[in-house]
Amino acid sequence: MVQKQQKSKNTSSRQQGNNRKQQESRKARRPHLLEWIIGGVSAVFILAVVGFVLFSGLTSTSSGAVLQVVPAEIEATGGSFRVTFRVVNSGDETAAAVEVEGVMEQEGARIETSRATIDYVPAHSRREGALLFGRDPREHRLELRAKGYADP
């Protein structure tokens, strides 16, 4: 009988130990309040980023490449005249192989033409180049313009 009582004590103490372990493991599995807060803030942040990307994608309108050629400086170099210029792309897309043409006119007639190609003009940026002429552009009417470009 004493053995039966000892066995039942051992069994009940094991059960109590198992119950404690189960309670502790349940407590360990429950997320802490701080985890809930961080998870909620993260979810709100992710939803805001996804919403912004969707809104931007649905409402934006691309203006393409918008090119303007602006003369910068004219200087004599040996037997010719160098006209430096800036190609300004105020558009939303990149332009590649931009062909720039400079036409010198006198009394409405073309007297000289020069061309240059700018490899790459990214969106909202500028690039510089130069055209060479045999006559002094300061003494004539000079028109610079972008003739064309390719999509990269």
pLDDT in tens, 72-85: 999 999 889 999 99
DSSP 121: E
C-alpha 74/C-alpha 34 separation (Å) is 68
Domain span holding position 22: 2-59
Q: Where are the alpha helices (DSSP H) in 30-85?
A: 33-59
Angle, vertex CA 123, rays to CA 133 and CA 126, nearest 5: 35
Q: Are residues 110 and 74 in the same domain?
A: yes
122 by DSSP, 3-state: which? Answer: coil
User: What CATH number is attached to the domain comprising 82?
Assistant: 2.60.40.10
Q: Are residues 73 and 141 in the same domain?
A: yes
Among 16, 31, 59, which residue terminates a domain? Answer: 59
**Lowest-confidence region among 1-5, 12-16, 63-67, 117-121:** 1-5
pTM of the model: 0.61
Q: How far is CA 98 from CA 49, 66, 69, 102, in A?
A: 36, 11, 11, 13
Using only the alpha carbons of the chain, give its radius of gyration.
38
Q: Any idea which residue has 């490899």 for tokens?
A: 119
DSSP 1: -
- Residue 12: other Cβ atoms inside 10 A: 10
Q: Are residues 53 and 77 in the same domain?
A: no
pLDDT at position 152 is 83
User: pLDDT by residue (tens digit) across 11-26?
Assistant: 566 666 666 666 666 6
